[in-house]
Amino acid sequence: MFTPEIIAQFKNTPTPFYHYNLKVLEQTLAALKSEADRFNYHVHYALKANSNSIILKTIRQFGFGADCVSGNEILKAVECGYENSKIAFAGVGKSDYEINIGLDNDIFCFNCESLPEIEVINELAEKKNKIAQIALRINPNVNAKTHHYITTGLEENKFGINMWELESVVEALKGFNNIKLVGLHFHIGSQITDLSVFKGLCIRVNEIQDWFISRNIIVEHINVGGGLGVDYENPNSNLIPDFKSYFGLFNQFLNLQPNQQLHFELGRAIVAQCGNLISKVLYIKKGVNTNFAIVDAGMTELLRPALYQATHKIENLSSTAPTQKYDVVGPVCESSDCFGKAIDLPETKRGDLFAIRTAGAYGEVMANGYNLRVLNKEVFS
Ligand SMILES: *Cc1c(COP(=O)(O)O)cnc(C)c1O
């Protein structure tokens, strides 16, 4: 990942900044494409994981669609060349402004999460004399076995339409003249590493399809969302996610109807491993149990540790000395501004460069200006 030339380039760049390795991204996309093509599966990239224009254009070049969760993401996808007919729009709280963006751009599908939302889409589509294609986002009540903040497919979550509401929703659809039901959508959570969870999802989707088929409804597509996890502990041994097993599982366990398409919305699995947050050590401070390595990046640049208790592998790019234990912390005035406790790192000194690995997804997009901090421009290699 880090050749001497790349490290030399880092030394001349103001820190902290995000580094993206486009070769890793392209290798990931090539693997994803060949595995998805085996089954003719359709993949939409979930923009919210990383909406950097160069990354978006690289992904688009492989022919993938886009999965957006805001009106501005739709505009960005269109601007970066994604085909309108491959843009899906999800989210529990789509505003009228955002729905109109979707309608004006004739997107592939609105993934709808409640009856009141469908009513509004119908009304706005009628005003424009258009037919909006929609999928019902159904809450399958499947436990993703991931952090509770990124679990979305349980009945207690705010996402999707619950099974007991389906009958009334399907009945109400008959009264909407500017809505066309084209799909069923599911997304149960993120950073799912236990693949058996997806087998459970398939079984549940089959049952839900049967419910629709018994009412003579056969939709054009099933969308099983995203959520495939990545290896944060050992990025080097698992740079490319296991797309083969992932798609193989759906092929084995999901019963598609004749000519029915299967869609996926992957975010993290596509972009996580190509990104690193590069930071400089400001001070080594003696602590009670371990020493602190205080770095110039914090929760303002990478929020995941503070938000989800996530851990990222940390490498010292400037030292090969014997290891010591460090708490790696940022400069922000919050105790949760900590990248790792009692981590073994080569003996570290002021000025050393750290790479915080696997930071391509939900990293730069969540950077914020707390403490009036400003992120530096990204570096590509
Ligand atoms: C966030 C999100 C995704 C992508 O999730 P990943 O875990 O990054 O693959 C897909 N679909 C929807 C509806 C989402 O909200």
pLDDT of 143 reads 82
| Cβ 224 under 6 angstroms from ligand 1 | no
Mean pLDDT along residues 277-289: 94
- pLDDT exceeds cutoff 90 at 345: yes
Percent of the chain with pLDDT over 90: 92
Mean pLDDT along residues 292-317: 96
Among 157-166, 350-359, 371-380, the range scoring the smallest mean pLDDT is: 157-166
Question: Residues of 265-275 as b/e, b for ≥16 C-beta within 10 angstroms?
Answer: bbbbbbbbbbb
User: Cis before residue 140, ω within 30 degrees of 0?
Assistant: no
| Cβ 190 under 6 angstroms from ligand 1 | yes
For a pocket test of ligand 1, which of 47, 55, 187 has the largest count of ligand atoms closer than 8 A to its C-beta? 187
Mean pLDDT along residues 17-39: 98
- Kindly give the distance from the C-alpha atom of residue 188 to the centroid of ligand 1, in angstroms, as a whole number: 9
- Kindly give the distance from the C-alpha atom of residue 268 to the centroid of ligand 1, in angstroms, as a whole number: 8
The ligand 1 atom nearest the CA atom of 226: 9
- Kindly give the distance from the C-alpha atom of residue 73 to the centroid of ligand 1, in angstroms, as a whole number: 13
Q: What is the pTM of this model?
A: 0.96
pLDDT in tens, 180-209: 999 999 999 999 999 999 999 999 999 999
| Cβ 265 under 6 angstroms from ligand 1 | yes
The ligand 1 atom nearest the CA atom of 266: 9
User: From CA 326, how far away is CA 284, in angstroms rounded?
Assistant: 9
User: From CA 372, how far away is CA 381, in angstroms rounded?
Assistant: 29
User: From CA 171, how far away is CA 89, in angstroms rounded?
Assistant: 23
| Cβ 88 under 6 angstroms from ligand 1 | no
User: From CA 349, how far away is CA 67, in angstroms rounded?
Assistant: 43
Higher pLDDT, 209 or 160: 209
- Kindly give the distance from the C-alpha atom of residue 46 to the centroid of ligand 1, in angstroms, as a whole number: 6
Closest CA to 92 of 161, 9, 175: 161
Domains and CATH numbers, the chain: 4-17+273-380 (2.40.37.10), 22-272 (3.20.20.10)
